[in-house]
Structure 1
Amino acid sequence: MPVTELALLRLKVQDPPSSIKSTFLEAKNKQSEYSGYPVTYLRQIEDPLSLYLLGGWESVEKHTGEGQWLSLEVNQNLLAKLKDNVDVSWMFHLDVDPSKIPLDAPVLAITRCFVEPSKKDEFDASFKAGVSHLNACTAPFSSCGAWRIDKEGEDEEFVLFSGWNEVKDRHAFGESVTSEEFGKLKALAKDADVRHVHVEKWE
């Protein structure tokens, strides 16, 4: 099964000049051509200087391994062009096919849950038990969740993607009776961080 790459980029300015946008689009197209998977930029609604890159790979090795994309000259040249305009805050991979992420939704919520290793299986079971209730609320859009592969530190990380019409709809779900199904998840997670994004269309 393919894996999903998720990276957070920090822009120096909210609306980059056209020359920089062109380089972002070139980087997107080159990576997609190499990986065989679409690449999407997602702009954070809470903080428009935050730009997420979401892509797919056959494996983590295909992305970061020796002689693979991260170390190739074409990628290094693109990064050099962008280095004065953007910082990479973090990047990791998730064990989910990127085609399952609801990028067709006007708003995509990205929820990062940090879980103690001893509670991973219980968290996973609780999510699978309650996800149908979430999908009933996100319809006609969907949701999917996945574990981080290349984790840092001791904790496990689970990332939930859910599609919504508006940010307020996701907040309403969080306050609804239906979301009590997810009460166990909140109790099992040490911490959680929710951000909302929309697809960035610079073309």
Structure 2
Amino acid sequence: MPILEICLLKTSPNLPHTSPVFLSALQKARTLLAQKVVNTNSRFYRCIEDPSLIYILGVWPSLARHKEFLASPQKAEILDEQNELFEFQWIIHIEIGEGGMKELPLEAPILGITRLFIKGDARETYQEVVHRSASVVDEGTKPFKVVKEWRIDCEEGKFEHVFVTGWVEEGSHDAFTKTMREEHPDFAPMRDTYEGTEIKHARDMEKSF
């Protein structure tokens, strides 16, 4: 099963976050990966809430294949020169359909990346709410696709649900969430199942909308 890697980097404070050096380095690494390891078809997104943060999204054939690369000499060959430009924040993996990157709402002007940290004893309740509200979420995020999958590399006993959504403009996601709370009472219990949340939005660094 293909997996989606979502990696978060923070740009060096020694350069303005708008410096073209950052995108150039990421594109170089993507090219080298495709030539020497796996074509991940990676995309690069700058966080709207904090422009010093950059999300990398890419697809690997499996989690094992990505871990194999991270433990190999090729990792240093391809990525080490980025160490002076970026500070690693975190990396997570979720399953993705056979369409790979095409499963994501990459045509949207704004990408929403949501991490929901679910209480261990509330997972069943959370899943019930997600099941009941699935069609509403799918309808509310149109015309863009939505990916909602469990993280597959959590620590034992931890549960994290990841959403990747597409939006037309800033504020669209917040407006949708407000509508869900006000018009769909079945959605309300979901908030009690969280240990925490992380909701960010980003724009494609290689596109202008």
What amino acid sits opposite 1:90 in the alignment? W
How do residues 31-42 of structure 1 correspond to structure 2 at under 5 angstroms?
31-33=33-35, 34-42=37-45
Deviates more, 1:1-10 or 1:22-31: 22-31
Q: Which residue of 1 aligns with 2:6?
A: 6
* 2:40–2:59 CA contact under 8 A, matched in 1: yes
* 1:31–1:39 CA contact under 8 A, matched in 2: no
Q: Given the alignment of the two structures, is residue 102 of structure 1 paired with residue 124 of structure 2, yes or no? A: no
Cα deviations by residue, 1:136-163 (Å, 9 ceiling, x for unpaired): 1211112121111111363211111111
Q: How far apart are residue 36 of structure 1 and its match?
A: 3.6
SS at match of 2:197: strand
Distance in 2, Cα, partners of 1:11 & 1:74: 23
Structure 2 length-normalised TM: 0.85
Distance in 1, Cα, partners of 2:129 & 2:90: 28
What amino acid sits opposite 1:125 in the alignment? E
**Could you say if the C-alpha distance between residues 185 and 87 of structure 1 is closer, same or farther in structure 2, counting changes exceeding 3 Å?**
same
Q: Given the alignment of the two structures, is residue 167 of structure 1 paired with residue 170 of structure 2, yes or no? A: yes
What amino acid sits opposite 1:201 in the alignment? E
Task: Calculate the aligned-residue CA RMSD, in Å.
Answer: 2.2
How do residues 52-67 of structure 1 correspond to structure 2 at under 5 angstroms?
52-65=55-68
Structure 1 length-normalised TM: 0.87
* Structure 1 residues not aligned, in runs of 5+: none
Q: Which residue of 1 aligns with 2:84?
A: 84
Q: Which residue of 2 aligns with 1:129?
A: 132
* 1:10–1:50 CA contact under 8 A, matched in 2: yes
* 2:32–2:78 CA contact under 8 A, matched in 1: no
What amino acid sits opposite 1:16 in the alignment? S
Q: How far apart are residue 179 of structure 1 and its match?
A: 5.4
Q: How far apart are residue 52 of structure 1 and its match?
A: 0.6
Q: Given the alignment of the two structures, is residue 191 of structure 1 paired with residue 196 of structure 2, yes or no? A: yes
SS at match of 1:55: strand
Distance in 2, Cα, partners of 1:37 & 1:81: 19
How do residues 114-153 of structure 1 correspond to structure 2 at under 5 angstroms?
114-152=117-155
Distance in 2, Cα, partners of 1:124 & 1:163: 22
* 2:104–2:147 CA contact under 8 A, matched in 1: yes
Q: Which residue of 2 aligns with 1:93?
A: 93
